[in-house]
Structure 1
């Protein structure tokens, strides 16, 4: 690269290496639930529904009786896929949080959490960024 500052090239390379390492760590050791029978099938199925290559918005619901592992599946998806997004957040116990703090507080808290993942984000830039937001117990 003629005229490129060596520091910029080095910083870009370091950022790419870190991103690659984090992606590999997240996908290989995402949580303690890897031994649960059938969990990876559910994760793969939901991942295919997400169509990660598409710029379109996706809303996917996991529905079922209490205690069948919906939260575990949601956590696995988050840990496996968060590195594929510009920003991500996993919000557990949404109903309980809304009852305790109110919906406006929850919206404000998690919007700022998404923005804090990358300090250079602004609300305007967040609108053009691929975001993974998982809400549990809605």
Structure 2
């Protein structure tokens, strides 16, 4: 009996940790969940992000470089080349108009659904996977 008990403890000790909670993408206006449909192109990084909220591209120099090119095309006109803001909020520092931008799932929700003023949804402009690349690049700004 003790051996079975010890064996049970060994199994429990070796069991994998509970999976991380799936992120809930929320609209910046009212905090309500937004529906993010399946992406047209699925990538391992996007699937992982939707399951864990972790952006694999943050550690990928090639993806960060691609994110920079997308940022220069779509974002810098409003947020400045260094993320310090122009006519729109800064993306660097600790002061955020939308506190959720401090997390990758929060920034993804804003890119996907849009926010106030000129910040329109990018859901029909760039892929969900490219949104992760932009976020990975933005996280390098101000460092």
Bin of the TM-score, shorter chain as denominator length: under 0.3
TM-score by length of 2: 0.27
Greater fraction of residues in helix: 1
TM-score by length of 1: 0.27
Decide which structure has the larger Cα Rg and report it: 2
Greater fraction of residues in strand: 1
